[in-house]
């Protein structure tokens, strides 16, 4: 049984699993980081996440089977370790310049999933990520949209995917 099959959600299993698979592939190929999907849970509509998030990329997704948002959130330590793996540059704080790396990383996940889903007829449109940074970010989605929270663990720390839409 896949992670998406365990959820009762109007977001299709094929759609969710494409993003779950893309996340694992991109982390492995770009940052040499093995990741494991720990848990996927429906998220109460409109409730902010309580997971420690210091930087998050958000992308709007529009296609014939899904309209909504995807967010990729990192705790500070996880993001700094990933940035170091990705670019070979050790840092102790998240800078404004690092936001481009978070944006590009989410873009790679989106592009990988988009390629697979478009081959299946989903017709995902081009999208540009937006990045938010702060000590205690809270990711909130619209109250009238179903949301999914996916928690990952890796050898560099935890991170999170949030889906909202239908």
Q: Give the burial string for 23-60 (b: 16+ CB within 10 Å, else e).
A: bbbbbeeebebebebeebeebeeeeebebbbbbbbbbe
For residue 141, pLDDT beyond 80:
no
pTM of the model: 0.86
Q: What is the pLDDT of residue 64?
A: 86
Q: How many CB atoms lie within 10 A of CB 121?
A: 9
For residue 117, pLDDT beyond 50:
yes
In 88-130, alpha helices (H):
99-119
Nearest CA among 166, 1, 7, 137 for reference residue 71 = 137
pLDDT above 70 covers what percent of the chain?
86
Q: What is the pLDDT of residue 7?
A: 45
pLDDT band of 21, cuts 50, 70, 90: very high
Q: What is the pLDDT of residue 165?
A: 80
1-15, 27-41, 85-99: range with lowest mean pLDDT = 1-15
Q: What is the pLDDT of residue 142?
A: 64
162 within 8 A of 70, measured Cβ to Cβ: yes
| Higher pLDDT among residues 43 and 98, named by residue | 98
Q: What is the pLDDT of residue 45?
A: 54
| Higher pLDDT among residues 82 and 47, named by residue | 82
Question: What phi and psi values does residue 68 have, to the nearest 5 degrees?
Answer: 170, -150
79 within 8 A of 106, measured Cβ to Cβ: no
CATH topology of domain 4-165: Chemotaxis protein chec (3.40.1550)
The pLDDT of 29-43, averaged and rounded, is 86
- Please list the residues that pair with 166 across neighbouring strands: none
Helix (H) or strand (E) holding 82: helix 76-87
């Amino acid at each position: 049984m896949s992670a998406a099959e365990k959820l009762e959600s109007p977001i299709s299993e094929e759609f969710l699993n494409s993003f779950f698979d893309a996340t694992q592939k991109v982390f492995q190929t770009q940052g040499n980081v093995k990741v494991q999907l720990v848990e996927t849970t429906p998220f109460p509509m409109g409730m902010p996440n309580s997971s420690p998030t210091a930087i998050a990329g958000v992308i709007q997704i529009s296609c014939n089977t899904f309209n909504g948002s995807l967010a990729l959130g990192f705790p500070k330590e996880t993001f700094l370790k990933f940035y170091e793996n990705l670019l070979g540059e050790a840092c102790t704080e998240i800078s404004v310049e690092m936001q481009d790396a978070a944006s590009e990383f989410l873009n790679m996940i989106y592009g990988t999933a988009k390629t697979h889903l478009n081959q299946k007829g989903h017709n995902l449109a081009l999208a540009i990520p937006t990045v938010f940074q702060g000590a205690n970010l809270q990711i909130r989605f619209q109250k009238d949209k179903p949301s999914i929270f996916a928690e990952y663990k890796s050898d560099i720390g935890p991170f999170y995917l949030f889906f909202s839409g239908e």
